[in-house]
Structure 1
């Protein structure tokens, strides 16, 4: 008869380990969760975990990266939608960023609280995450500049950073408590409209 541990050993891979790590983090929090706890959850030796992740720090870094980048694919798909004009694309992209991050908090608040601690430790992972978001925004701005629907100026990277910074309180984990307010949706919509208006080409009085 195949045991639970044997079945888990047969399918051990990075994703399985990261799933188990998330379970352990949710159960014990980042201060007490260990590689040995993860190995016990999987029914394997801690050496088996170390074959995929050479240290506890590497494991924590990767689980943080996975959490932060969970919505990148969806956002990239919106950024690449040539059937939408760039202003509508940016509007949808910003709304999805807020909705995705807010959803992660609502769906699993205990795990989110843990990741809030981990994010503070993983500056390199956070920097890469932010760089990818800025790159996607810059792509939308470039398309808008090309068809005249947006006027981002010559420094697309700088403008993309400014756009992301402008909506920081609607995607940065540190502001999660404010997302539960009744006014959160309206506040976000107002700020998004302001950002989009600022990027539209100046209208000629002639």
Structure 2
């Protein structure tokens, strides 16, 4: 690839490929440049360094989960069903990624944990989406919570076992769906209007 046609996306694609091949600890800018057929110096025109490139790889990966979730936020349906679909979509997205390529999923989980601010930023996006659904439920009287943001945080914490990479091994347990449904009933009961 010519340096003139080098883009951030092509660099991120190559970085993902190289990370998959060499692993997190052994990947460096020279490896990524070599995979693209350019010098590692060419990468610095797009990213300040290895840390910035790794952060961009993580951000792109995490943002990939937000688009399907946004569809649940925007759909026209009862807030309870939208909230359930949002949680199921988050769960299914992470589960599918872990099933499809467990090594890459584990590498990304480690990369997210090592990238300063990445997890916090991702949680903020998730919180905004959840809060929006809860607020719409409060507006129509379906949810009786006092603070949509606090409720969103409580729901994320209550469902962590079903979407946080640290619990990926549990996602394939035979009773995983039953566990999720039990937590969902508890969440819904906690949000429900008492009138």
For Structure 1 versus Structure 2, the TM-score category normalised by the shorter chain is over 0.9
Give the alignment partner of residue 178 of structure 1, picking from 170, 176, 181: 170
Other-structure match for 1:113 = 106
List alignment gaps of at least 5 residues for structure 1.
none
Query: How is 1:40-55 mapped onto 2 (pairs within 5 angstroms)?
Result: 40-55=34-49
Structure 1 residue ranges, 4+ long, deviating more than 6 angstroms after superposition: none
TM-score normalised per structure 2:
0.95
Other-structure match for 1:59 = 53
Give the alignment partner of residue 76 of structure 1, picking from 46, 70, 76: 70
Q: Tell me if 1:17 matches 2:11.
A: yes
Cα separation, 1, equivalents of 2:89 and 2:4 = 37
Cα separation, 2, equivalents of 1:11 and 1:71 = 28
Other-structure match for 1:144 = 137
How far does residue 109 in structure 1 lie from its aligned partner after superposition?
1.2
Other-structure match for 2:191 = 199
Other-structure match for 1:122 = 115
TM-score normalised per structure 1:
0.90
List alignment gaps of at least 5 residues for structure 2.
none
Q: Tell me if 1:189 matches 2:181.
A: yes
Paired residues in the alignment total: 195
How far does residue 156 in structure 1 lie from its aligned partner after superposition?
1.4
